[in-house]
Chains A and B, each alone.
Chain A
Amino acid sequence: MLQLLSQLVAALKGIGLNYDFLLAADERSAFLHGLVVTIQLSLATIVFSLLAGFALAAMLVSRTRWIAFGARAFVEVTRNTPTLVQLYCAFLVLNMLITQALKASGGNPLTPFIWVVLVISLHKGAFHAESLRAGIQAVPAVTLEAAASLGFSRRRQLWLVQLPLAVRFALPSLINNLVDLVKMTTVASAIAVGDVTYQSIMIWTQRDNVLELMLLMLAFFGLLTYLVNLAGRRLEHHLRMPGYGG
């Protein structure tokens, strides 16, 4: 296995690419660990962003004016400010305040990893919520009237009729959001979460092989986004209902 790797590295050196770090055990394991962390980050944020998206979408269409207004304000602020600034506001400001508040009672349990998951989940949750809201609006009024005439309460209308249809309408744009989300996990490196970007920076400051690591990372993110897209297409196909959507 290792022999194969060193042959590969030697072959790549022939075309001017220096992948020597793969032969150093510590750097190789750091890089592999970075890949694992990025995958963990992506999976955790996908799950939590969808949960946040559903919650926000339900709030957006709430009849209680203040809930709807609060959700709308949150979505607009989140969609129109950079993720990195949000991450700093959360990690450098809120985290600092929490640390100060909890100094007496044994320290802050929140890690940078948790903050990144939180911030990206809420950020992408706002985008999911907008997609879902558009999907909810696309559900024909007659369908809801039919449900109401069958005695469905408003809550049951939302969960059993509106959302299942809305998800199908919103699915293509939700998948777009998830692809974006995977790309967005790279900002984790800004607060020293050991994701693949962070590990690559550590390696290239030692070895000055930026181009080689870039190519690896682009390939890795290409693969990840391809997988998300593929899973999304499968789900779209699986959920397809005659008469709704393409």
Chain B
Amino acid sequence: MADSMDGAYAGNAPLLPQAGWRRPAWVLAALLVVLALSQWPALRQAPLAKHLLTWSPALLLGMLANIQISVLAMLIGTLAGLVIGALQLSGLRVVRVLTHCYVQTFRNAPMLILIYFSTYVFPFEIHVGAHYVAFPDWLKVTLGLALPASANVAEIFRGAILSIPAAQWEAASSLAFRRTQLLRWIILPQCLRRMLPPWMNLYAGITMGTALASLVGVHDLLDTAQIASTTVNRVDFTVAIYFTTLLLFFVYCYPISRYTHYLERKYAFT
């Protein structure tokens, strides 16, 4: 992870600009907010703002769909990934080879292809006993995103376990910890720490992947923006709606990325 170097090497970077760039950014943001508020009555009457206000609930609902898909995909992906990651460290060679193939395939497959795969190959309803249960598109997309998520979580988990020095295992067993105790109290707490930053990176990546859902007809944020753009059919609105979409994704993903960065610095070399 290139980013994890930041904390360690920040000290010897005399040629780099300091964190001072934040100040003009805040001033600029504050100015924009003040400007927008002072012009608010006039702005509200402008046709562009009217259209944007009309469409904003739909946009937010679309965004909610993206968040729902990403959270569920990450949940499934994490549970599956932990099992697969543990199996990758199995004593049985067959199990190791099979899980390795799984991880390599789904880490290297383009997300869009996996989304098409899950959308078109899975059935549109499932036969459970005498009932037909609908298998909606958003759920298929969720599973399509859970595949690469699980492969990546497996790799993160495996990497974390292997990164714990063997001396830790030996020291703990020499202190008469049982294997379960050793895992519970010594190894896993250290693993969790190391897994958290890459896991959050992965979550941000999966969230950005949910935008691909619009290509298979799921009503997400980007799909809503497209519908709005063709319905209103104004040049300025089209510009505004797509950049609002960009902004909404940024507002959701940027804090995650900052927090990941903070954690990486905090846990670097400990």
Binding site for B on A (CB under 8 A): 61-63, 65, 68-69, 72-73, 76-77, 79-86, 88-89, 92-93, 96-97, 100, 130-131, 134-138, 140-141, 144, 154, 157-158, 162, 170, 173, 179, 183-184, 186-187, 189-190, 197, 201, 204, 210-211, 214, 217-218, 221-222, 225
Contact = CB atoms under 8 A, between A and B. Distances in A.
B3 A130 contact: yes
Contact of B16 (A61, A140, A218, A225): A61
Contact of A61 (B17, B20, B226): B17
Task: Among A63, A130, A186, find the residue whose CB has the most chain B CB atoms closer than 10 A.
Answer: A186
B107 to A, nearest CB: 10
B239 interface: yes
Contacts, number: 153
Given A214-B113, A214-B117, A82 B25 contact: no
Interface size class of B (residues with CB under 8 A): 35 or more
Contacts of A162: 15
A85 B222 contact: yes
Interface string B223-244: 0011001000001001100110
Interface string B17-53: 1001100110000000000000000000000000000
A97 B235 CA distance: 8
Sorted nearest first, the 4 A-B pairs with minimum C-beta distance are A82-B211, A141-B12, A183-B110, A134-B2
Determine the main DSSP class of B at the interface with A.
helix
Given A82-B211, A100-B235, A144-B14, A89 B5 contact: no
A141 B235 CA distance: 52
Interface of B: 1-3, 5-6, 9-10, 12-17, 20-21, 24-25, 105, 108-113, 116-117, 120-121, 204, 208-212, 214-215, 222, 225-226, 229, 235, 238-239, 242-243, 245-246, 249-250, 253-254, 257
